[in-house]
Amino acid sequence: MSAEKIEGRTLKQWIAEVDAIISQRIGISVHDLADFAIWDSWNDGVTPEEGADMALDNDDLPWLEAEARGEFE
């Protein structure tokens, strides 16, 4: 992994920020989700917030959909 920085962050720092955002939002790691274009997103200057949104949009997250329908009440 390169130590190069895009928008002031290395790839490792960017992934850690994306992971923290996702963990705060839904309580799991970005590494627990379906794969998405992490390197391309970082390299294109996507913000960690946008990257978290992309990762979440890329995954089915069926339990969140069931929860939204009230199936866990």
Confidence of residue 1 (pLDDT cuts 50, 70, 90): very low
Give per-residue pLDDT as tens, 29-61.
999 998 889 999 999 999 999 999 999 988 877
More confident: 64 or 45: 45
Domain range list for the chain: 11-68
Which ranges in 1-73 belong to alpha helices (H)? 11-26, 38-43, 48-58, 62-68
Residue 2: is its pLDDT beyond 60?
no
Question: What pLDDT is recorded for position 60?
Answer: 79
Q: What is the reported pTM?
A: 0.79
Beta bridge partner(s), residue 62: none
Helix (H) or strand (E) holding 59: none
